Structure 1
Amino acid sequence: MTPLKCWGSLRPATLLLALIFLVCNIQHVQATIPTSKRFDLSKPSYDLFRSKSLHDVTVQQGFAFDNTNRRLFVAQRRDGSSEKAGDLCITQLDFDGNYVGYMHLTGFGHGVSFGVQAVGSSSYLWTEVEANGNGYGKKLARFKFASGTTLSSSSSSLKKYTPISGATEHTCSIDPVNNRLIVRAQLSGSKHIAVFDLDKATDGDFSTPLANFKHPSLKTASPTFQGYAAYGQYIYLLYGTSYDASGGKVNSDITTVNMNTGAVVQGPTLTKAGSTLKFREPEGLAIYKTAGGEVRLFLGFASGDPGDRRSNLFYKNALV
């Protein structure tokens, strides 16, 4: 039976229900993020700080801001822990790169990206959790940052989420300006990105994503993915390796993707931020809005010697 004959054979009431179901599902997959400006990746980057020590001495992986309480957190693999164990150290720094405190996470994940949500004067971290055999988290977790403590992935105090049904790995980032949770997940052999209202996500409601698309295939200078961050309707994807791996060549680049369409709008664009750093491995992206109202796209890089890796943050602020 042809599709038209199949539809024509339905009773009027059944046909009406079928049409309602179809329309609802079409609306469900349509992207609904309001239009916004984007960062011009061709414009210069500026220093926040260079060569700052973290609590542990391993390479930083990702970082995030509490945009309300004006705090900065950096993730790294815990000293002495296997790369596949998922044991992380979260260091809190001030905006001059001075050490404030730390928290250890056991069995959480790789730390490539995470988010921070302000609740009053407290900072709640959104991270991956339940590290798999490769050291990447299977789910997401939300918990209060408590300096000087250790939290296990099996703790009953953890609130865990599976935003994308069927996904085997989850990481996340937060757009603090627009109050959105961005999720990057491994699903059916490829990466997917979905965007959710942060307040609804906090309540465990992931039923209506604002956008949901497959991670685009890119012709980057290096295939090594190093982080992501979103502002408005655009997501920024970071790739590259250290000078040790690239033979001293700058191969770090950023790509801008429209999350309403999944299409690339700028890049991959090579970034030479911190090009004089020793080792220089790109590690993480994050969004921050200053008290004066300037929105910044931050780029992270690890530097230094083995056993004494340092944190470096730069930012772009030109919007178009």
Structure 2
Amino acid sequence: MPRPRALQTLSHAFSWTPLGKPQQTLASEVSLSGIGLHSGVPVTARLFPAMAGEGRYFVVSEGNGNGRRRVPATIDHAVGSALCTTLVMKEGKRVRTVEHLLSALEGLGVDNCGIEIEGGDEVPLLDGSAKGWVEAVEQVGVCVAKDSNGSHKEKMAPFLHKPKFVCRKDSFLMAFPSSKSQITYGINFPQAPAIGCQWYSCFMDDAIYSKEIAPSRTFCIYEEVEMMRKAGLIQGGSLENAMVCSATTSWLNPPLHFDDEPCRHKLLDLVGDFSLFAQNGNQGLPLAHIIAYKAGHSLHTEFVRHLSNIL
């Protein structure tokens, strides 16, 4: 697969700007269990508070009784694919399908959080959206995160000074300077007329995220399911955790939460993938107007890598 083209990187393209509020973490721990999308294995994710400056990270078993290792939720540990985002360590340890959970944490401003995965190497899919994660965070609440000295840290966000752009064939992702985080997303599935071409745009804050983005579920084309399963993917997928659309008829499991739910779910994925830009408990989503068309996980993470190389 050809690598995306990127505009020439320019000096001083970004700066970290204070947001006038402290970094946050969970007020207490919370756990959710479910099926892994690709593994089909029952797994549990335990979310627990982390100190200011630690950021978000996963804890995975070393195996053979050798303890546990941290896998930071940062772009230098990410591997993007067409169907999910995976975090890996040099030793081969991995956590798959992290995007929905990380999207919820970024969207709600949970800047520092530890996540322990038990039962497998994949985050539970739940209903295929981020709604369950949002409800879990709301259940325990958030609080100001403190470091080892009992002090808080001011939250920073990457502020874009100059436009950036990547593309692959007819897919693209671009960002323009803006005082607020705004995302505009477009998709096009001509092989499934019930989906077709859709666009959705919104400014980002926790209220909009919780109500307009988080409930949007993942989706697939019915005629492609068998091919994906033969490839060892979506072993845990079902009508209970994904919207399924037939190319010849329509949705097999209506109703949709929104008329443009597939497009909103792609935006949900983008928030999760851009959360990997976060550093030391700061915001990952840039203060910028981000516009994406037919992008997907691979292009999301490639774009974030370009941003990381600039800083």
Class of the TM-score when normalised by the shorter of the 2 chains: under 0.3
* Between structures 1 and 2, the one with greater strand share: 1
TM-score for the superposition, normalised by structure 2: 0.25
Quick check: which has more Rg, 1 or 2? 1
**TM-score w.r.t. length of structure 1:** 0.24
